[in-house]
Amino acid sequence: MPSTTAPGAPPMLTARALHKHYGAAVALGGVDFAVGSGESIAVTGPSGSGKSTLLHCLAGIIRPDAGEVRLYDERIDVLSERERSHLRRTRFSFLFQFGQLLPELPADENVALPLMLGGMPRRNALGPARERLAQLGLAGKEDRRPGELSGGEAQRVALARALVVRPAVVFADEPTGALDRATGDQVMSVLLQTVAELGAALVVVTHDPVIAARCTRTIELVDGRIRRDDGSLAGSVRAGATR
């Protein structure tokens, strides 16, 4: 998959020397991280190794105790809660194991929600929402509520919702964990393809080696540190190409 990051351009999202403690427990013990446009990074590692904590620090959900996180050149770890919340709404998207769709809303309104939260009138938001649903093979199912969709369809609605704002970075935590292999593979294909098309970056926490293998790069956390990193993103971004 070619990177859309221009040669010499800085990575989109970088973290340096991230530390996070919970009491005496070290959740992150000095993590350096970078992801560029068009890249997909699988974050793997045993339970309790710090994967979710890393994701939450990168996404500005929690603040690290030390270290820094930048979106392009902007330090996001120093922003106020209000500023980080705005950033999460406008530049980032999130996809979880269970899509967290609103059960009372039809598919198109679920997808339109992030646009409406950003101030777009409902009538304007429904168009792009339906377009995104159609791209994900859900044309004709716009009026269905989540309970009237299969698990895979519902997760594609969640995916449409994550992508409708054209995010810079998509954060996913076990996005196919609740799906069977075939459906999960399909959702992952759409996710990887769309992220590449948008020139976005994907950070996906997963226990699944099949999903990790489909990403452009895998890092493995153990005890809050990166034990294995199967590619140097900084080098590949500078070269304008990924593995």
Q: What strands, in cross-sheet order, belong to the sheet with 66-71?
A: 25-35, 13-22, 66-71, 74-75
- Min CB(176)–ligand ATP separation in Å: 15
Give the separation between CA 25 and CA 108, rounded to whole angstroms: 43
Nearer to ligand ATP, 4 or 52 (CB): 52
Nearest-approach distance from CB 209 to ligand ATP, in angstroms: 14
Q: Which residues bind ligand ATP (CB under 6 A)?
A: 22, 25, 27, 45, 47-53
Give me the least distance between CB of 95 and ligand ATP, in Å please: 16
Nearer CB in complex with ligand ATP: 63/145: 63
Cα torsion angle, 51, 203, 167, 5, sign: positive
* C-alpha of 144 from chain center: 25
Nearer to ligand ATP, 47 or 80 (CB): 47
Q: How far is CA 36 from CA 8, 41, 195, 196, in A?
A: 11, 10, 11, 11
Number of Cβ within a 10 Å radius of residue 228: 11
Q: Taking the complex as a whole, how short is the minimal distance between the CB of residue 28 and ligand ATP, in angstroms?
A: 8
CB nearer ligand ATP, residue 30 or residue 199:
30
CB of 33: closest distance to ligand ATP in angstroms?
14
Contact predicate 220/227, CB 8 Å: yes
Cβ neighbours for 56, distance < 8 A, ≥ 6 positions apart? 62
- Tokens standing for residue 191: 């996710």
Output the smallest distance, CB 201 to ligand ATP, in A. 20
31/20 Cα distance (integer angstroms): 10
Please say which residue, 51 or 84, places its beta carbon nearer to ligand ATP: 51
Query: Smallest distance, Å, CB 158 to ligand ATP?
Result: 19
How far, in whole angstroms, is CA 238 from its chain's centroid?
22
Helix or strand run (H / E) with residue 123: helix 122-135
Considering the complex, state which of residue 40 and residue 53 has its C-beta at the smaller distance from ligand ATP.
53
